[in-house]
């Protein structure tokens, strides 16, 4: 069972952001199908990127948060870790820069 809290209608059929937990359009990550971020202002739906460690993410900050949460559980890391490894940090930046280029003006 998912460990999500709160929502009354949280089902395993919903795509979710790994960073903030909000429901996205599309399918859960483990199905291998895409999820979509709604961008009502301009583009309609934007394909949600994948977190470096797996999972859909809806924003760059969610991406970073999800990665950091996971890294904190790894051996040699810990709750005190406050930033990502420089290499991964840069990879995430590049990924979101590209997405913003593909969807100019999107709220990402």
Binding site for Zn ion (CB under 5 A): 17, 19-20, 58, 62
* Rounded least distance, CB 24 to Zn ion, Å: 8
* Rounded least distance, CB 6 to Zn ion, Å: 15
Between residues 15 and 58, which has the closer beta carbon with respect to Zn ion? 58
* Rounded least distance, CB 75 to Zn ion, Å: 27
- Helices 60-72 and 86-102: crossing angle in degrees, nearest 10, is 160
SS3 content of the chain, % helix, strand, coil (to 5): 30, 15, 55
| Residues contacting residue 90 through CB under 8 Å, at least 6 positions apart | none
Between residues 63 and 71, which has the closer beta carbon with respect to Zn ion? 63
Between residues 57 and 71, which has the closer beta carbon with respect to Zn ion? 57
Integer Cα distance of 23 and 10 in angstroms: 9
Between residues 61 and 78, which has the closer beta carbon with respect to Zn ion? 61
10: alpha, beta or left, given left = phi > 0 and alpha = psi -120 to 50? beta
* Rounded least distance, CB 28 to Zn ion, Å: 15
């Amino acid at each position: 069972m998912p460990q999500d809290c709160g929502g009354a209608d949280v089902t395993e059929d919903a795509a979710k952001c790994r960073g903030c937990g909000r429901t996205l359009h599309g399918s859960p990550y483990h199905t291998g199908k895409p999820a979509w971020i709604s961008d009502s202002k301009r583009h309609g739906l934007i394909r949600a990127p994948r977190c470096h460690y797996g999972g859909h993410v809806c924003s760059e900050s969610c991406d970073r948060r999800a990665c950091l949460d996971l890294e904190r559980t790894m051996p040699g890391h810990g709750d005190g870790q406050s930033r990502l490894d420089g290499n991964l940090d840069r990879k995430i930046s590049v990924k979101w820069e590209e997405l913003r280029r593909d969807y100019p003006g999107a709220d990402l």
